[in-house]
Amino acid sequence: MEYRFAEQLKRLPELAAELVRLKVDVIFCSSTPPVLAAKKSTTTIPIVMASSGDPVEAGLVASLARPGGNVTGLASYGPELAGKRLELLKEAAPAVNRVGFLWFSAGPGIQARLQLKEVRSAALALNIKLEEIETKVLPNDLDGAFRNAAQQQINAIIPASQRVFSTERKRLVELAGKYRLPAIYPEEEFVESGGLMYYGTDRVDAYRRAAVYVDKILRGTKPADLPVEQPMKFEFVINLNAAKQIGLTIPPNVLARADRVIK
């Protein structure tokens, strides 16, 4: 196993090229940005992705049923889940009427823009005013972003599912608590770090299923012949400690729907 981890997105092409030079048999990637970097580095080495919001839109595969190239694996319903997160946020905090969509605009923003589109549709249906909150320099921009949210009287936050926020999750959660803003996050680690709620695909299950792709490819199956799968298991987690911190009482019917409640 050859492991490579990019602390910054700009290092992904360099690391992908390094793996190609090592002539590995399969490249395994966690999400869209590293898959894009790997695909640009090789058209012959098979690439397996554990999660990609919309691999067709991102140009990773020709179609889910017939990938057609050297990339296959699992899609993650990333954009569609963004709208569902807003629905759950409204159910958990009925008084919410002005929501900020926090996204990092300085990097590859394909998935974030798709998520924003879904959140806009959900906001319209729920009669919620949606505001975009852009960040360009992390972590410095986060403090300013939350100050701007407070000035705009935003009363809830939805961060985009972007890898750059994962590394700053503790600070992001702290700021949501400081400004007493209900928030629902795209990764379970945010809730483990003290965040209010998480809704998304079961990533442990996704990685296990992605391992099956790696196994099949190592046994001789071509990635072009392996259809991209979509997630089958989802998780909804609520942190009652975080709710108490911001003075929010989660309705019993919402708590009953949670797969896990942190007390």
Q: Give the model confidence (pLDDT) of 95-149 as tens digits.
A: 999 999 999 887 666 778 888 999 999 999 999 999 999 888 776 789 999 999 9
**216 found inside a domain:** yes
Looking at residue 54, what is its pLDDT?
78
pTM of the model: 0.78
Instruction: Identify whether residues 174 and 251 lie together within a single domain.
Output: yes
Domain count, the chain: 2
Average pLDDT taken over every residue of the chain: 92
Omega cis (within 30) before 159: no
How far is the C-alpha of 195 from the C-alpha of 210, rounded, in Å?
28
CATH number (domain holding residue 125): 3.40.50.2300
Is 2 a member of any domain? no
Same domain for 242 and 228, yes or no, is no
CB 89 within 8 A of CB 58: no
Among 89, 105, 109, smallest CA distance to 97 is for 89
* 183 and 255 part of one domain: yes
190 in the same domain as 242: yes
In a domain, 1, yes or no: no
Q: Between 100 and 55, whose confidence is greater?
A: 100
Phi, psi of 12 (to 5 degrees): -60, -45
**If we measure between CA atoms, which residue out of 198, 199, 150, 151 comes closest to residue 173?**
198
Same-domain pairing of 68 and 43:
yes
Residue-wise pLDDT for 153-197, tens only, equals: 999 999 998 878 888 899 999 999 999 999 999 989 999 999 999
Q: Clarify whether residues 209 and 143 are in a common domain.
A: no
* pLDDT for 77 beyond 90: no
Could you list the residue range(s) of the whole structural domain that residue 178 is in? 78-201+235-262
